[in-house]
Structure 1
């Protein structure tokens, strides 16, 4: 009886340990969160607004505050620190602009506690009545446990928060006087 319990306990510890072992970046599953909205404003207006970090807390529900040079559209290499709450988890991320093609594309790479945390990319396309805005957030699972929880709970929560963000962005920009 005791031997069986010890075998079961050892098996459980091996399984839990395997779930928590960090995955190599090249094999960890990648998640893509994509949200799209049509905004009745010119691409340059939308681009300047979304790439200025001071505006993030006004439209993105996960953005609690930003620090650093936040008062202008960021260029490649510039950084900002954001306090966030994503899927109920609070933290701080350092974002670095990795790509900028005004006014069509902009990307930032995030780092949390020295570990890659994901990439946010904005793609803007001119439309007859304004701009097609696509927000894409990609991130990798650092462990099998995270991959499992992500698939069951987190991805849906993050998708919902991202969809709410672009809806708020549309409402906010379209309520501002055109100019």
Structure 2
């Protein structure tokens, strides 16, 4: 061996880098990602609002929503919760959503937790237009670690944007074709 200290130092440096990649990031680090998708839906804002805020409909129009449980049969009110099984960017899991803002028919926000940890926020903003409704869906999530931030930048963000775009297109098609009750 030429210089065992050099090898030990290199191994320790690699271990430190790996540990830093997986260490939780402080809340002050601004590594939030915001995915926004907008569509013009030729239906009144109240119809769109009631449909999208009723969790039983989510698996019908959102490809990432596999199943919902809890209070799913009505538009959720402030403070109500629902559990959702999801597959986002290939990752399966379960999230509990809590309604944190509700201003019908213009705004609705839910905050998610996975295993008690913040998982993201979804906000629906609806504006009445001459032809119906301008619907905006914004999904905001924070990178919990540097490793996640790198993976998000390389792969996840684009996949999540694509899934969100598909969801809103499905929503538009569904609501414009099918009369809602």
Give CA-to-partner distance per residue, 1:17-62, whole Å, 9 cap, x none: 0111101122141100000000000000000000000000000000
| Aligned pair partner of 2:54 in 39, 52, 55 | 52
* Helix, strand or coil at the partner of 1:23: coil
Give CA-to-partner distance per residue, 1:131-179, whole Å, 9 cap, x none: 0000000011111111111111100000000000000000000111367
Does the aligned pair in 2 maintain the 1:124–1:132 contact within 8 Å?
yes
CA distance in 2, matches of 1:4, 1:26: 36
| Aligned pair partner of 1:173 in 160, 164, 175 | 175
CA distance in 1, matches of 2:99, 2:91: 23
* Helix, strand or coil at the partner of 1:71: coil
TM-score (norm 2): 0.96
| Aligned pair partner of 2:31 in 26, 29, 32 | 29
Question: Is residue 140 of structure 1 aligned with residue 113 of structure 2?
Answer: no
Question: Is residue 20 of structure 1 aligned with residue 22 of structure 2?
Answer: yes
Q: Which runs of 5+ in 2 are unaligned?
A: none
TM-score (norm 1): 0.97
Does the aligned pair in 1 maintain the 2:47–2:180 contact within 8 Å?
no
Deviation at 1:9, TM superposition (A): 1.0
Give CA-to-partner distance per residue, 1:40-99, whole Å, 9 cap, x none: 000000000000000000000000000001000000000000000000000000000000
CA distance in 1, matches of 2:177, 2:103: 26
CA distance in 2, matches of 1:164, 1:4: 52
- Displaced runs of 4 or more, over 3 A: none
Quote the residue 2:64 is aligned against: 62
* Helix, strand or coil at the partner of 1:103: coil
- Report the aligned-residue RMSD: 1.0
* Helix, strand or coil at the partner of 2:25: coil
Does the aligned pair in 2 maintain the 1:61–1:164 contact within 8 Å?
yes
Quote the residue 2:76 is aligned against: 74
